[in-house]
Homo-oligomer: A and B are copies of this chain.
């Protein structure tokens, strides 16, 4: 029997890149069934404050896995990011992004011969993402940054488990405990406590500003880094930049009951509907999802086909060699299928 997962196309270029990815899945005989759910910008506009219908919420909660395209949150005071809301509502406490140098995707780092292969695990719920802020006077705003031991423990344990599963030799904790002595202090303390259960993994810590300095000079120094929410947000995007941008960055939000695999790049309304968008990030997220669900053979064969396709120099208009013609979304998907 096929396992069923929830799929949300997303806004802008979402539907077309999702179609491309599902076509690749089908061609590889991935044994999944899909239930499409109503979620995204138009559902805000239709009056759903969370950006999804009740039915979508129910479906996702029943199925446990959501595969989602990029989504736009309408601007306006009081409207909360649909991505952030989803993470919080379903307690997906760990955000995992795997960054690696891809042949065919040129950056100053790949041109310098540096091979990047780096996982960022970010705490996904706490920190200033609670949005607890108030105006003390008209001139003074106060925000609260909350870090808890259980919240830290669950993401840190996930990070060590991930490192063990992948056979990594080391895991670093990024933090600013020299300034935020209690909040980042308990995150760091928890990190070293949990590290004791994973003696085969070398645990170390690094102050986040120093980390960023090292990442832009020697990204190959690191294998995996776990951080609190906002620092993890910043470091994740920095790392995306190292390998070519958000178009090449998968994202998985892992919880105990529900997990979300998503493209975190924008919805690119300017090119939406033209069929020229780059589906790579969503495909990479899909590959992570297959692996997470135990469909490791499917994951490996699609991943190999993607890597080989990129290596061949096949590219959509947003990246790759300017001197070779670009293909559209469908052409890109077909090239992967052929491989």
Contacts and interface: CB of A to CB of B under 8 A. Distances in A.
Contacts of A186: 139, 141
Contacts of A245: 213, 217
A148 B144 contact: no
Q: How many copies of this chain sit in the oligomeric assembly?
A: 2
A45 interface: no
Interface in A76-127: 77, 81, 84, 107-109, 111-112, 114
Given A213-B246, A246-B213, A141 B179 contact: no
The size class of the interface chain A forms with chain B is 35 or more
A77 to B, nearest CB: 7
Interface stretch (A204-212, A253-261, A276-284, A308-316): A204-212
A181 B133 contact: yes
A135 B205 CA distance: 22
A269 interface: no
A210 B111 CA distance: 22
A143 B182 contact: yes
B146 A180 contact: no
Nearest to A240: B213
Given A141-B186, A142-B183, A213-B238, 9 more contacts: A112-B112, A139-B149, A140-B149, A143-B146, A179-B230, A209-B238, A213-B237, A213-B245, A213-B246
26 contacts: A81-B179, A108-B111, A108-B112, A108-B217, A112-B112, A135-B182, A139-B149, A140-B147, A141-B183, A143-B144, A143-B146, A143-B182, A145-B145, A176-B230, A209-B234, A209-B236, A209-B237, A209-B238, A210-B237, A212-B235, A212-B237, A213-B238, A213-B245, A215-B238, A216-B238, A217-B244
Q: Which 10 A-B pairs have the closest CB atoms?
A: A209-B237, A213-B241, A216-B241, A133-B182, A212-B238, A143-B145, A213-B237, A141-B182, A139-B149, A108-B112
